[in-house]
Amino acid sequence: MAILEILKLPDPRLKEVAEDVVHFDRELHRFVADLEETRQAGPAAVGIAAPQAGRWQRIIIIDCSTTGKPVPNHGRLILVNPEITDWDGFALGREGCLSVPDYTGNVIRAARIKLRAHDPRGELQAYEMEGFEARALQHEVDHLDGILFIDRLVSRRTDLFQRKVYQKGGNRKKQV
Amino acid sequence: MNWQMLTLVGEDRPGIVARVTDALYKGGCILGETSMIRLGGNFTIMMMVNGGQSEQALASYIAPVAEQLRLRFHLDPMHGGLHQHRIPNFQVRVNGADRAGIIASVTGVLAGCGFNILELDSDVVGSTDKPVYIMTIEGYAEAGLEVLESALNQLESEEIDVHVSSIETLIG
């Protein structure tokens, strides 16, 4: 096991599109172990994608089981060749990135998604995700397509955000 | 590095940012964090500037442009520097009929909870005869969500809606 170097902005390699994994072998498993160790060594990252560690294959890890406020989640998932098959709703939330240190910003993501992906043994799996976990998944899949969250930043003043938050009602709403 | 905080304000028109930053660039200055926004028909700039030069030198670069564009400006030496971001963990959203004292009442309650405002923007919208006030605050507090909710309940008799929610920042 090893902690891998994280590519950081403005490294142009972060813009490269990753390729499908073809061989589900021991070498893949060794890399996944290193990738997970790298994720855990970072600043409380709930996800990591292989291109962030300099490997342009479609491999991501997400784990939303340890958020400050518990959220619906599937625990730690190692997802190979993930493909989002359905999107529903939208939500705005704050994101940061191991590859973009010292910056966070607001991004709109689908609120619910359906997904299929291979596990590390090559078995095809299907998932449905919502909220924070769906956001994490979309953030990591973006890395596989050479997209960073800063490519999707929106202003907090956007009308979209105001309406969305109002609809959700936050945790407190008081009417006069 | 010794940063200066440059503040400029004046009637909005195209080209203010380009002209001001070009003058600073040609004076050998670098820029740090900035906040620029149009408020009430004026354009406002707050900008961290560093040229390794005196306040007088910086002022000499800005003054001609400010005069041409009819901007007022001010320079203050500042402590601190880059990379001191703090990630907010709460957002407060306020809206209601516009009246004096909304910011004071809401932020007064938040201050009492130890809430550190990191960013606040507010606007008066609606119509002239029925103005509506909208404010969004992001900040950091050690206090829990329930504490903030309970404290903001003090405003219940006032004609405003107040929502507070936690922010879970995703790092991926």
Domain residue extents for chain B: 4-77, 90-166
Residue B161: list chain A partners with CB under 8 A: 173-176
Q: E strands, A25-176, where?
A: 47-49, 59-63, 76-88, 91-97, 100-109, 112-118, 124-130
For the domain made up of B90-166, the CATH class stated in words is alpha beta
Candidate from B165, B168, B171 with C-beta closest to A45: B171
Where chain B has pLDDT below 50, the residues are none
Residue B157 amino acid letter: S
| SS3 call for A80 | strand
- Can you give the pLDDT at residue A158? 57
Walk along chain A (176 residues) in steps of 10 and give the mean pLDDT of each run.
95 97 98 97 93 98 93 97 97 95 94 98 98 98 97 74 41 37
Residue A24 amino acid letter: F
Spatial separation of the C-alpha atoms in residues B32 and B4, rounded to whole Å: 10
Q: Chain A neighbours among B 33-92 (CB < 8 Å)?
A: 83, 85, 87-88, 91
Q: Which two tokens stand for residue A119?
A: 């596990």
Contact A174 B156 (CB under 8 A): yes
Parse chain A into domains and list their residue ranges: 12-168
**Listed residue (B57, B55, B60) closest to B75, CA to CA:** B55
Instruction: Map tokens 């507070």 to a residue.
Output: B164
What residues contact residue A115 under an 8 Å CB cut-off, 6+ apart? A79, A82, A83, A84, A85, A126, A127, A128, A129, A137
Spatial separation of the C-alpha atoms in residues B95 and B163, rounded to whole Å: 9
Contact B166 A69 (CB under 8 A): yes
Q: Alpha helices, DSSP H only, in B1-140? A: 16-26, 55-69, 102-112
According to CATH, the topology of domain B4-77 is: Alpha-Beta Plaits (3.30.70)
Equal fold, B4-77 vs B90-166 = yes
Q: Which two tokens stand for residue B79?
A: 């402590």
Candidate from B83, B153, B167 with C-beta closest to A94: B167
Task: Tell me which CATH code domain A12-168 carries.
Answer: 3.90.45.10
